[in-house]
Amino acid sequence: MGKVLVVTSGKGGVGKTTSTAALGAALARGGENVVVIDFDVGLRNLDLVMGAERRVVFDLINVVQGDAKLAQALIRDKRIDTLSLLPASQTRDKDALTVEGVDKVIAELREKFDWVICDSPAGIERGALLAMRNADLAVVVTNPEVSSVRDSDRIIGMLDARTLRAEKGEKIDKHLLVTRYDAGRAARNEMLKVEDVLEILSIPLLGIIPESEEVLKASNIGSPVTLNNPTSAPARAYFDAARRLKGETVDVVIPLERTGLIGRLFGRRVA
Amino acid sequence: MNLFELFRKKSTAPVARDRLQVLLAHERSVIGKSDLLATLQEEILAVIARHITIDRDAVQIKLDRGASFSTLEIDVEVPLDATKLVRSPNKAKSGVAAPA
């Protein structure tokens, strides 16, 4: 029986899809059988970040409504054969997803894969609730910034109240993934420190992903950052996070970008 | 801008942390409270409905958060013909003090 993981945040644009692709690929590279599911019906993007946008034939809604078999909708990654994608529909309405249908699809995927990773849409409405509903554990993606932290707090509350596990009185494991972190700015007191975010949200830390141009480079090409440049700072941080998800104990360090001489002389700042 | 301000480091992150701590303490209590009250309302209504027929709006619940203890006020409006045990006044009021 596989584990169901939801990647969620409340706020949009903090890195849910990037993190889903990067963690999924990192786990798959470690030999795990992984499927990533896009729950953002109408605004799908996981296919694009994974570089599979031209291979989408059937989607989650087709499967939920019984118009396609699960095996027909799953897209196997061309780089890693233990990684699959179940895309969202781009044309249909999000109301086409039913609770029973989603439960059935997730139950089927649980049988086939070690990890079922659900990429949640932004917001706290139906789509986000359906994405978290079956989760055993959650990765809460947060930027060190006030609106993102506030929205994450709200989502943590919903994970504790609105998931199947919560309704059965069971615990759901929640992990904090801080993304777009700039250690330099945090040291200069210009950005919330990881410790501040941890103290406010009080859930265990899964990892710190540094702000990096590698993330955009990877999505430009359509490759998870952990595959596109596995030795880059964000990729190493995602690999560490993936190992922690598997239960390994890995010290949290903030990986630094390996900069050239010019970069080291002048430093690199992100505006 | 004087020379001092020019060289002083702008510490905005501690301000962000303090604002968040104040805001979230408030939001958690409000959101948590509304959930608790909705649950209480439903369950109290269910218990009463087992014995007497009452309207959904007949049960009013209020939670006042105090410094040392909170007051939970349950206001149940019982119709005259619902039971012979309650005659007048037709309004049963009970206040329960619960630790905060």
**Is A48 or B50 the better-scoring residue by pLDDT?**
A48
**Is B73 or A16 the better-scoring residue by pLDDT?**
A16
Task: Report residue B86's pLDDT band, with 50, 70 and 90 as the boundaries.
Answer: very low
Q: Which residues does chain B have within 8 Å of residue A149's beta carbon, measured at their own beta carbons?
A: 20
**DSSP code at position A14:** S
A86 backbone dihedrals φ, ψ, rounded to 5°: -115, 105
* CA–CA gap between residue A44 and residue A17 (Å, rounded): 10
Q: So what's the pLDDT on residue A260?
A: 54
Q: Which residues does chain B have within 8 Å of residue A200's beta carbon, measured at their own beta carbons?
A: 17, 20-21, 24
Q: So what's the pLDDT on residue A265?
A: 53
3-state secondary structure chain B: CCHHHHHCCCCCHHHHHHHHHHHHHHHHHHHHHHHHHHHHHHHHHHHHHCCCCCCHHHEEEEEECCCCEEEEEEEEECCCCCCCCCCCCCEEEEEEEEEC
Q: Which residues does chain B have within 8 Å of residue A145's beta carbon, measured at their own beta carbons?
A: 16
* pLDDT digit string, tens, across residues A137-173: 999 999 999 999 999 999 999 999 899 999 999 989 9
Residues 6+ apart with CB under 8 A from B25: none
Q: Which of B9, B19, B32 minimises the CB distance to A189?
A: B9
- Report how many Cβ contacts below 8 Å link chain A to chain B: 42
Check CB contact of A186 with chain B, cutoff 8 Å. yes
Check CB contact of A200 with chain B, cutoff 8 Å. yes
* pLDDT digit string, tens, across residues B30-43: 776 666 777 787 88
Q: Are A157 and B28 an interchain contact pair (Cβ–Cβ within 8 Å)?
A: yes
Q: So what's the pLDDT on residue A235?
A: 97
Contact A125, A12 (CB under 8 A): no
Q: Are A200 and B31 an interchain contact pair (Cβ–Cβ within 8 Å)?
A: no
* pLDDT digit string, tens, across residues B5-34: 666 667 899 999 999 999 998 888 777 666
Q: So what's the pLDDT on residue B72?
A: 81
* CA–CA gap between residue A17 and residue A15 (Å, rounded): 6
Per residue of chain A (271 residues), what is the pLDDT tens digit? 899 999 999 999 999 999 999 999 999 999 999 999 999 998 999 999 999 999 999 999 999 989 999 999 999 999 999 999 999 998 877 788 899 999 999 999 999 999 999 999 999 999 999 999 999 999 999 999 999 999 999 999 999 989 999 999 998 999 999 999 999 999 999 999 999 999 999 999 999 999 999 999 999 999 999 999 999 999 999 999 999 999 999 888 876 665 555 555 554 444 3
Mutate to test the interface with B, among A192, A195, A199 (most CBs of B within 10 A): A192
Q: Which of B9, B13, B21 minimises the CB distance to A186?
A: B13
Check CB contact of A178 with chain B, cutoff 8 Å. no
Residues 6+ apart with CB under 8 A from A260: none
- The structure tokens listed for B13 are 């992150």
Task: Report residue B100's pLDDT band, with 50, 70 and 90 as the boundaries.
Answer: very low
Interface of B with A (CB under 8 A): 9-14, 16-17, 19-21, 23-24, 27-28, 31-32, 35
* CA–CA gap between residue B50 and residue A116 (Å, rounded): 44
Helix H or strand E segment including A61:
helix A60-64
* CA–CA gap between residue A180 and residue A110 (Å, rounded): 31
pTM of the model: 0.79
* CA–CA gap between residue A152 and residue A171 (Å, rounded): 18
Q: Are B9 and A191 an interchain contact pair (Cβ–Cβ within 8 Å)?
A: no
